[in-house]
Amino acid sequence: MNVLFVCHRVPYPPKRGGKIRPFNIIRHLTEQGHRVTVASLARSAAERDEARDLAQHCKEVLVEVIPARVALPQMVARLPTPVPSSFGYFWSRRLAQRISAAAAATPFDLVFVHCSSVAPYVEHLPAPLKIIDYGDMDSQKWREYAQHRAFPLSAGYWLEAVKLERRERLIAGHFDLCTCTTRAELESLRALGVTKPSDWFPNGVDAQFFAPDGAPYEPDLVAFVGRMDYYPNQQGVIGFCRDVLPQLRAQRPGVRFAIVGADPPAHIRALGDLPGVTVTGSVPDVRPHVRRAALTVAPLAIARGTQNKILESMAMGVPVVCSPEASGGVDAVAGEHLRVASKPADWVAAIEEILGSAALRQKLAIAGRERVLSHHSWAASMRRLDGIVEKGAQ
C-alpha cells in the first residue's frame, strides 16, 4: 500500500514521548513492505536536520519548519474563534501544499494520522482507509491543566478543552477508524459521543535497549526521569520535594533524590539547593542514571496516556513508585509489578519498604521487567495494530 503518515512532531530520533509512538508505527508499516510517506513538523532547522535518518525507515519524508515566532501568533489568532489554538500551533500552509501535491501524484491507499492537531491536513483527503490515532485525548489533558493552574491560565486551558472536545468529536467523522493509547483514553473518546469504530493499542518499549546491565545500584538513591520543561513533571517533582522527601529523609537521612531531565527552568534547578537533591539537566543517556537508582518515582497529578518513563524503568529492572494518575496508562498490577501511592505518608512507606529490602526490590525488578516483555513490547503492540487495520479495511 501507499501510506501517508502525518504526525505533529518529526518522529526522529525517537527519544521522547511524542516521537516514540509514531516512529514505531512508521517503522512497522515499512517493514511490512508498505511505501510510507511521512509528513510532519519541526520547530527548528536543527530539529529538521536531526531527523534526516528517518528516511531510512520510510519512502519519503516531508518536513516543514514552523518556528515559535510563527506558531505562537497563529495560536493566539485562534483564541476568539471556534478553532482550537493548538491547531494553529501545528499549522503550516507549506506542509499542507506538499501533502496535497504528494496525494495528487500518487494516491494513498491508507492515510494514518497521529494526534488530532494535525488532522486538518487530511480531513478531506480521499483514501480507501483513513485512521486517526488520537494517542492521548488532548482535550482532557487541557481540562486537567485548568484544574491545576491559577486564573487566567485556568480559563485559557478550559476554553481550549471545550474547543478540542468539539473538534475531536467532529474529526472522527472524517476517518474510518479511531485509535488511542490506552483503554482509559478510549473511554474518554467514546464519552465525547464518537460512534465511529474505535479501539486502542498500547505504547511499547525497546526492552533490548532499556535492559538491566547487572551493575550495582545505590541503595539510597531515588530518581525521577522526564523532560523538565513539561509542566506536569515540574509539578510532580516540586510536590515530591515538598511533601515526601523531607519525611523520607527524616527516617533515612542518607536518601538522595536525582531529577534527571532536559531543560529544567530556574525554579526546578533551584531544587538542587535542597538537602539530598540533584538536578542533572540534559544527559546524553538516561539509562545509567536509572540503573544506578534503587527505584524511580512518577509523582504526577496530571498524566494522560502511557508514561514511557515508567515502562523504561520497569524494563531496566528498576522498581517504580507512582501516582494513581501515572499508573493508569500502564498495563500492570499495583503491588505486583509496581507500587502506587497517593498521600505523602503512603509514598514514604512504599519507598522506605523498597529501600529497606533488597529482596523486595529484586522481586519487583523481575516482575516489572517480565510485565513489560509480556504486555508492552512493540511487537505485541504492532500485532494489535495490524488487527485493527485489517478490521477497518474489511
Residues 85, 96: one domain?
yes
How, if at all, do strands 218-225 and 339-340 pair? unpaired
Residues 17, 145: one domain?
yes
Q: What's the CA gap between 38 and 57, in Å, rounded?
A: 10
In a domain, 210, yes or no: no
Full residue range of the structural domain in which residue 91 is found = 2-204+378-393
Residues 112, 227: one domain?
no
Residues 190, 230: one domain?
no
Rounded to 10°, the helix 358-375/308-315 angle is 120
Q: What's the CA gap between 312 and 221, in Å, rounded?
A: 17
Residues 115, 9: one domain?
yes
**CATH number, domain with residue 37:** 3.40.50.2000
In a domain, 285, yes or no: yes
- Other Cβ atoms less than 10 A from the Cβ of 11: the count is 27
C-alpha cell at 133: 490515532
pLDDT in the model for residue 390 = 87
pLDDT in the model for residue 223 = 98
Residues 77, 117: one domain?
yes
pLDDT in the model for residue 149 = 86
Work out how many domains the chain is built from and give that number: 2
pLDDT in the model for residue 161 = 95
> Nearest CA to 116 among 100, 94, 139, 98?
139
Rounded to 10°, the helix 344-355/358-375 angle is 100
In a domain, 212, yes or no: no
pLDDT in the model for residue 231 = 93
pLDDT in the model for residue 303 = 87
What 8-state DSSP symbol labels residue 182?
A: S
Consecutive sets of 10 residues in the chain, 394 residues long: mean pLDDT of each? 96 88 97 97 93 94 95 94 96 97 95 97 95 94 89 92 96 96 93 94 93 95 96 96 98 97 96 97 96 97 88 97 93 95 97 97 98 93 92 74
In a domain, 268, yes or no: yes
Residues 19, 166: one domain?
yes
Residues 161, 233: one domain?
no
CA distances from 44 to 104, 120, 229, 262, 313 (A): 28, 22, 17, 17, 30
Residues 141, 256: one domain?
no
Q: What's the CA gap between 176 and 309, in Å, rounded?
A: 32
Residue 224 pairs with which residues in a beta bridge? 259
In a domain, 100, yes or no: yes
Q: What's the CA gap between 170 and 191, in Å, rounded?
A: 13
| Sequence-separated (6 or more) residues with CB below 8 Å from residue 229 | 262, 263, 264, 265
Q: Read off the pTM.
A: 0.88
In a domain, 323, yes or no: yes
Burial of 385 (0-12, 13-18, 19+ CB in 10 A): buried
Residues 191, 241: one domain?
no
pLDDT in the model for residue 16 = 80
> Nearest CA to 295 among 225, 238, 346?
225
| Positive/negative CA dihedral, 174, 64, 158, 135 | positive
Residues 194, 288: one domain?
no
In a domain, 209, yes or no: no
Residues 266, 296: one domain?
yes
In a domain, 211, yes or no: no
